[in-house]
Structure formats: structure tokens, C-alpha cells
Amino acid sequence: MNDMAKVEPVPARAIPAEPVPALRFEAPPSTSLWAHARHIVAENPVTGLAFGLFALILLAAIFGPSIVPYDPLASNTNAALQTPSRAHWFGTDQLGRDIFSRVVAATRLDFSIAIFSVALVFLMGGLAGVMAGFYGGWIDKVVGRVADTIMAFPLFVLAMGIVAALGNSVGNIVLATAIINFPLYARVARAEANVRRDAGFVQAARLSGNSDWRLLLTQIVPNIMPIMAVQMSLTMGYAILNAAGLSFIGLGVRPPTPEWGIMVAEGASFIVSGEWWIAFFPGLALMIAVFCFNLLGDGVRDLVDPQRRN
Amino acid sequence: MLRMIGQRLMTTIPSVIGVIIVTFLLTRVLPGDTAAYFAGPAASPQAIIEIRSKLGLDQPLPVQFVSYVAALVKGDLGTSLTTGQAVTKDLAARLPASAELTLAGLILAMAVALPLGVLAAVKQGSWIDHLCRIVATAGVSLPVFFTGLLLVYVFYFILGWSPAPLGRLDVFASEPPRITGLFLVDTLLARDFETFRGALAQLILPAVTLAIFSLAPITRMTRASMLAVLGADFVRTARASGLTDGKVIGTYAFRNAMLPVVTTLGMVFSFLLGANVLVEKVFAWPGVGSYAVEALIASDYAPIQGFVLTMAILYVALNLMIDVLYGVIDPRVRLEG
């Protein structure tokens, strides 16, 4: 991060640019990101827990399918509906599939849906918002109108409608999740780009003969990245929750595939007869993942917020 | 006041137009041949062409849009293939069930969240403040269908306190005469207390599920805005003038703190109307949400489109009501409007 970014407070919507207190410059000028991360974690152990959980989820997503004890798709009717035991940590479902293996293997799919939808909405919403904030005028009006129209729907209902119309596939779940988050990203990016449009460093870059596109990519975008990163980690949890909700009602993911939402749906009918573990463990995994991403959002905010960097 | 409502009504028009355009696009422009779908899998190409011209799908898009809007104005949302009924009729029959559930959930959530948020702000740093923080963090992480299933397991299977999660009434009970469509109200009007108790027993778990879900944003907002108001000058003045704590918190602070909370209700409704679908599926609740889910499974598109449109219009109307409520609470909005 260069010195310019230190002078410019990132949540500039809320705080008018105040003179930077002289105290800040007495801090060691170059602390590494890693040292700073350690400081944040030491200050708030909950953030440490969130980063630890995140690492665990990441490992499960990468290596999960290859390290699980059983084939997540292999059914074994002799071992159907077994309670959690040493052989089957999370028990088995109605087809005798090992739930632990399925829960771990499902991480990759759920995590990818969240990552891809967040990446997609970051590109769509971020680009639209930055253009709207930088140029204003008709682009601003169009982006604002599109965002307003999306916000006029109850978001989960809109996602249902989109997946139903576009066709029942995982790709469309990603797209629908991205679309319902569009207003959020577009608005943040717009506000952040708008306050920087006429900032001194942008004017200076413009006077040195840079084109609009260069200004956007080298001056505006790098400076709004921190707040977008916070936004992305905050929406990850919502994206996973939304995708799992859609597959719970039978959209997107097809039955034999291990995925948390659909596994909860499969176990739902067994709850009333007391086989709790079928729905419980995938639901728990989902809950932990969402909880982790929500905490992580706060952690990332601490990490990138220049106000707290010292 | 009337003028303000009128002006606010004008600003909802673009939202409604946007909603109608989006639902139209969802039905027409996207992949999948609607005519082939309506003709059925065994139809000949000739039959598909006939159906296409009967449905007006061979017309240019703007013409189709005009006839779509014309049908909407007449309240025609098409026919459901699974029930064989007009979608409007189906939705109207099932809407009260969803409304009863959503309202019960919202009232429960407010009944817990408002006192919790106020107490957390008044006694900052106490155990109730910590409880408030836990509720706010846990509430947003809980998948609503998972909470519902956990509640069913604990209160139906283990404790046996609540009835089986199968709809609004016990299979053997008969529905009360339909006046409002809300069973709790209708049974009371008919003085049928046994059915009232039965309907209430069925309603509690799904309503609690929805309430847990919407607790987090309301609690967090109440706490934050109450804290802001308690630090304001007029509260200090009220205290300095020797008013009792009850008067200062209840009359001076609370009413002012409610403004941001009422604004948050718009977002809460967006969550609630979506969560409703999931909760209805878990509890086999015969509302519009489970109607849409059944239609989804049967690839029956007209009910889904009708459902999305109805929910969107309802949501726009709810936001309008919230704004009007805002004017009732805050006289300044009325004067400016």
C-alpha cells in the first residue's frame, strides 16, 4: 500500500477527509502484511479462529474428495441408517452412504459456488459501480435503475425465479447468486469511485496525460480494493447460504451429488422418525462455514482498514 | 400526510414497472421453448406451431409484452398444469397461510428483539449486551431450514410437545369458516377454541423458526440506534430535568430509536419472504412458498412466475407501508413531504 492510500481514509462515505494525525507517522514505516495479520489475530482471537476455520474449509475443499475414508457416492444397503460410530463418524444415510465422507466431499462444491458467484458479482457489480461513480451521467442512471429493480424483489425469491427460468443447473445458481448481490457491490463501488473521482492524486494522474481507463485501473480500482475485499468476504457467507437454500428446495444440484443443502433436504424426512444425524451434520457444516465467513469479513476489515494499520 | 403518501406512491411506479419487465423477461426471452413445453413431450411440430400462435409467442417481443401486461391487469397469470386452476386463484387461496406464518414470525421476532436491543443498549457491557451480540452473530449464520429441522427434532421427536410438522391443522380437524383466511383469527371469530389451540400448536414451530432468522438484524439495529439516541443532547437534557428513567428511555429515546429500526424492516421483509419458502417446505405449510416449490419440482412455470411477481409486488407494497409508518412515527417526514 502506498502513502497515498494512507492519507485517503477508505470508508470515505462516512468520514470526511480529516487531517491525518501526526502520531501515525511515528509508527515504523514498513511493517509487513504478515506481521500486521499476526497483530490482528493476537488482538482478537475470534478472528484467529475464523482464519483457522477458513484454512480447514480450504483444505477440505482442495483435498477433501481424495482423503475421505469412504466413497461419497457408494451406497451400502447393509449399513443403512446407522447412528454415528467409530466406523462412520457421522453415521450413514438411507442408502448406507458415509455421511462424514459426503460432508467433507461436499465442501468443494459449496465453496466453489460461493467463490465463483462472489468473483462474478465482484466483476459485474464492481465494474458497473466504478463506471457509474467515475463517469456519472447516463451510465450512473442505468446502473442505479438496474440495482433498484433487483432490490425491488425479495432476493431469494428472485434467485428462485432466475434459476427456474434459466434452467436447473449449478452454473445458474452461481449466476443467480451473483445477480442478487449485484446492487450491494454496485453501490459500494459507485460510492467509493465517486468520492475519489476528483481526488488530488487522480487529478495529478490525469494531468500527467493518463487516459480514463488507465486512471480507473491504476488509480481508482487499487484504492477501492480494500473495501471491496471486505465486501467480498462478507457476502461469501450469504452466497453459500443462498446456494444451499436453493438446492434445499431442489434447484441446481442433483441428488446423488454431495452438497450440504441437498443433504439436509434428504435428511429432512428422517428427522420426524428420529434419524437426526443425516440432516444434522451437513447442516452443521453449512452453519460453521457461514459463521466462519461472517467472522472472516470482520477480520479482513481489520486487516485492510488503513485506519487500524500501524 | 395524504400528500406524502401520494408522492411516495408515485416513486413506487418505476419499481413496479421494473418488476413487471423482469418477470416478463424471465418468462419469454430466456432459453427453453415455452410452446413445446405447453404442448407436452408427445406433440407434433404442427401442434407446437399452433400452440405458439395461440399463446402469441410468434409475435414480436413488444407486442407480447403488451398482451402480457393486459393479461396482468385482468389478474390473469396463466394456468397451473399441476392443479389445473388459474394461478391467481391458487395464489389467493394459499396467500393467507403464508401471511399468517410471516406475520406471526415477525411479531415474535419484534417481541424479543426490541426489548433485547433496548436493554443491551441501556445496560451496555452487561450479560444482556453479550447475549445480544451472540444472537446477532449466530442469527445470520443459521440456515433457516436447518433451524426448522432442529426445532422439529427437539420439540416433536424428543420432547413430543408439538404436533407433527404437517401443515396448518391436524388432519382430523376441520378448517374454520373462512373470513380472513388467518386460522388464528377465524377460529376466534367462530368461537372455536379447540381448533384455535390446534392451529396455534401447528404455527408455533415454523413461526419461531422465522423469528430466529429475523431476530439478528432487528436486534442489532435496535441496539445501535438506541445507543446513538441515548448519547444525544436531548436525552441528557431530559435526564437533567429530572425525568424518570422509564420516561427518558420509553418516551424520549425509544420513539426516536425506532426510526432506523423501521427502515431495517424493509430488509427484514426481503429476508422473510425468501425464508418463508424454505420454512414452508420444512413444515409442509400449505402457503404460496410450498406452492412454488411444488411447481418447481414439476417444471410448472406459470405458478413460479406468478409467485415471483406476487412476492415482488407484495414487497414493493410493504416498503411503501414502511415509509408511511415512518411518517406516522416521525412528524418531520410528514412536514417535509
* Residuewise pLDDT in 10s, chain A (310 residues): 344 444 444 444 444 444 444 444 444 445 576 777 777 666 666 777 778 888 888 888 788 777 777 777 767 777 666 777 776 667 777 777 777 778 887 888 888 888 899 999 999 988 898 888 888 888 888 888 888 888 888 888 889 888 888 878 888 899 999 999 999 889 888 888 888 888 888 888 888 888 888 888 888 888 888 788 878 877 888 888 888 888 888 887 877 888 888 888 887 788 777 777 778 888 888 888 888 888 777 777 767 665 544 3
The C-alpha atoms of residue B89 and residue B2 are separated, in whole angstroms, by 33
The C-alpha atoms of residue A259 and residue A246 are separated, in whole angstroms, by 11
Residues 116-145 of chain A whose Cβ lies under 8 A from any Cβ of chain B: 145
Q: Which of B21, B156, B308 sits opposite A157 (nearest CB)?
A: B308
Q: Do B304 and A294 touch (CB under 8 A)?
A: no
- Give me the residues paired with residue A92 across strands: A98
Please give the helix or strand (H or E) that residue B68 lies within, else none.
helix B61-73
The DSSP line for B304-337 is HHHHHHHHHHHHHHHHHHHHHHHHHH-HHHHHH-
C-beta of residue A310 within 8 angstroms of C-beta of residue A27: yes
The C-alpha atoms of residue A132 and residue A144 are separated, in whole angstroms, by 8
The C-alpha atoms of residue A188 and residue B111 are separated, in whole angstroms, by 33
Tell me: the pLDDT tens digits for A148-189?
888 888 888 889 888 888 878 888 899 999 999 999 889 888
Taking CA atoms, B264 is separated from B226, B270, B322, in Å, by 14, 10, 10
Q: What is the pTM of this model?
A: 0.81
- Tell me the nearest-neighbour CA distance from B243 into chain A, angstroms: 34
Q: Among all residues of chain A, which has the CA nearest to that of B147?
A: A283
pLDDT at A120: 93
pLDDT at B160: 74
Angle at which helices B288-297 and B301-329 pack, to 10 degrees?
A: 150
Tell me: the pLDDT tens digits for A112-121?
888 899 999 9
The C-alpha atoms of residue B216 and residue B109 are separated, in whole angstroms, by 9
The C-alpha atoms of residue A105 and residue A99 are separated, in whole angstroms, by 10
The C-alpha atoms of residue A228 and residue A234 are separated, in whole angstroms, by 10
pLDDT at A43: 67
The cell for B291 is: 406452492
A 10 A CB-CB count for A11 gives 15
Q: Which of B21, B140, B281 sits opposite A249 (nearest CB)?
A: B281
The C-alpha atoms of residue A213 and residue A67 are separated, in whole angstroms, by 46
Closest alpha carbon to A105 in A135, A138, A63:
A63
- Tell me the nearest-neighbour CA distance from A186 into chain B, angstroms: 18
Task: Choose from B87, B151, B271, B296 for mutation: most chain A CBs within 10 A.
Answer: B296
- Tell me the nearest-neighbour CA distance from A248 into chain B, angstroms: 8
pLDDT at A6: 42
Q: Among all residues of chain B, which has the CA nearest to that of A237?
A: B141
The answer to whether the Cα torsion of B257, A189, A10, A309 is positive or negative is: positive
pLDDT at B40: 65
Phi, psi of A32 (to 5 degrees): -75, 160
The C-alpha atoms of residue A226 and residue A246 are separated, in whole angstroms, by 30
pLDDT at A116: 92
In chain B, residues with a C-beta closer than 8 Å to the C-beta of A287 are 141-143, 146
Q: Which of A148, A158, A160 sits opposite B292 (nearest CB)?
A: A160
**Cβ–Cβ contact A69 with B under 8 A:** no
Phi, psi of B143 (to 5 degrees): -65, 130
The C-alpha atoms of residue A145 and residue B11 are separated, in whole angstroms, by 12
**Cβ–Cβ contact B217 with A under 8 A:** no
Taking CA atoms, B273 is separated from A58, A234, B18, B95, B255, in Å, by 32, 22, 19, 12, 27
In chain B, residues with a C-beta closer than 8 Å to the C-beta of A152 are 15-16, 18-19, 312, 315-316
Instruction: B182-190: list long-range contacts, CB under 8 Å, 24+ apart.
Output: B182/B96, B182/B99, B182/B100, B182/B103, B183/B100, B184/B100, B184/B104
Closest alpha carbon to A177 in A112, A265, A104:
A112
Phi-psi region of B125 (alpha: psi -120 to 50; beta: other; left: phi over 0): left
Domains and CATH numbers, chain B: 95-286 (1.10.3720.10)
Angle at which helices A155-166 and B288-297 pack, to 10 degrees?
A: 20
pLDDT at A3: 43
Divide the 337 residues of chain B into consecutive groups of 10 and give the mean pLDDT of each group.
Answer: 76 84 76 62 73 72 81 80 81 87 90 87 79 78 85 81 75 72 76 77 87 86 85 86 84 83 83 87 86 81 84 87 79 61
Q: Which of B19, B150, B272 sits opposite A149 (nearest CB)?
A: B19
pLDDT at B295: 83
pLDDT at A179: 92
Q: Which of B275, B296, B307 sits opposite A251 (nearest CB)?
A: B296
